[in-house]
Structure 1
Amino acid sequence: MFAAARRSATSKSFTRAFSSTPRAQSDVAKLILIGRLGKNPEVRMTRSDKEYISYTVATTNYPPPPPNPDGTRPEPSTSWHTILSFSPTANNYLRTLQKGSQVYVEANYELREADPAADADSPAAQRQILLRHETIRVLKRASAPSESS
C-alpha cells in the first residue's frame, strides 16, 4: 500500500530528461582513455608565451575488429591521442611522467571544423580534434631503463 502511494507521488514529480531549454553549463564532451604514454610529456609555448604540456597516449582497439569474410581476424590497431594541458599544477605533475607509463586520462573533447580559406595542405584545412587535459592517474609506472641497454 505504501509502495503504491510512493510510486504515484514520484511519478507526478517526474520531469522530462530532455528539454528545449538551453542548458550549456551541463553539456559536456569528454573522452576517457586508458593507454600508455607514447613519449615523455613535452613543454611547449603558445603564441602569447603561455606554457603548456603536450602528451600522447596510445590505445589499442579492443576487442579486435570482426573477422574478414575468409575467417581471418585483422590485427587490432593502435590509435594515438595528443592531449594538451594548460594547468600549471597539472603541468608540474605531468613533467614527472615517463614514456611507457600506463595511464587513465579524462579529457575535454572539442571538434574544430576545417577552415575553408586555408591552404589544402595545411592542418587548418582539415577537421581537428582538440583534447584538453582534465585529469590523469598513473595505473602503472614505466620500468626504469636498465644500465646495460
Structure 2
Amino acid sequence: MAFSTTSSRSADMAKLLLIGRLGKDPEVRYTKTEKEYISYTIATSNQGPVPEGAQPTTTWHHVLSFNPGANNYLRTLKRGSLVFAEANFELRQPDPNADPDSPEGQRQIFLRHESIRVLRVPRGEAEENVSE
C-alpha cells in the first residue's frame, strides 16, 4: 500500500463497495452529544483460492450512518439480508498518548454509510412476506 505525502484535494476520496450479509439488525446508537446514528455490520467472505484444508475467511465491516433519512430506512433492514453498500473509508491513526490496547491507541478504519441496496432478504423474511 502506498500513501501520498502531497496535500489532498477536494476531489480526493476513498470508497468501499461491499456485497455481503447483515450480521445483525442495524442498531440505533447515540453520540456523546446525543446525536442519533445507526450502526450496522456487513459480513463478506473471501472468495479467492483457498489453500487445501483451509476454510474461507469472513471479514466483518462496521458501518455508521449519520443521515436521518437513510437511518429511517436502515431501521427496517433485517439480519441475514444480502446487501450492496457503499461507504466512505477513513483510516484513523492511533493517538500516541493513548494506551496501545485501547481503541484510541490503535489504528482504526472508519466506514461512513453512503448508500445501501437490498439484493435479497433472508429466507424466513421472504416466506413471511408471501403469506401476508
In the superposition, the TM-score normalised over structure 1's length comes to 0.76
Shift of 1:28: 0.8
Q: Name the CA distance, whole Å, in 2 between partners of 1:50 and 1:109.
A: 21
Determine which of 105, 122, 125 is the counterpart of 1:142: 122
Deviations 1:98-138 (A, max 9, x none): 00000000000000001110012211100000000000000
Gaps of 5+ in 1: 1-20
Q: Name the CA distance, whole Å, in 2 between partners of 1:30 and 1:73.
A: 33
Q: Name the CA distance, whole Å, in 2 between partners of 1:114 and 1:60.
A: 27
1:50 aligned residue: 35
Give the CA RMSD over aligned residues: 1.9
Determine which of 93, 100, 117 is the counterpart of 2:80: 100
Question: SS at 1:103's partner residue?
Answer: strand
Asked whether 1:29 is paired with 2:14, we answer: yes
Question: SS at 1:144's partner residue?
Answer: helix
- Percentage identity across paired residues of the two chains: 61
Q: Name the CA distance, whole Å, in 1 between partners of 2:20 and 2:57.
A: 13
1:17 aligned residue: none
Deviations 1:9-56 (A, max 9, x none): xxxxxxxxxxxx966221110000000000000000001110000000
**Between Structure 1 and Structure 2, how many residues are aligned?**
122
Give yes or no for contact 1:64–1:75 (8 Å, CA) kept in 2. no
More strand, by proportion: 2
Determine which of 84, 87, 91 is the counterpart of 2:64: 84
The structure with more radius of gyration: 1
Runs of 4+ in 1 over 4 A off after TM superposition: none
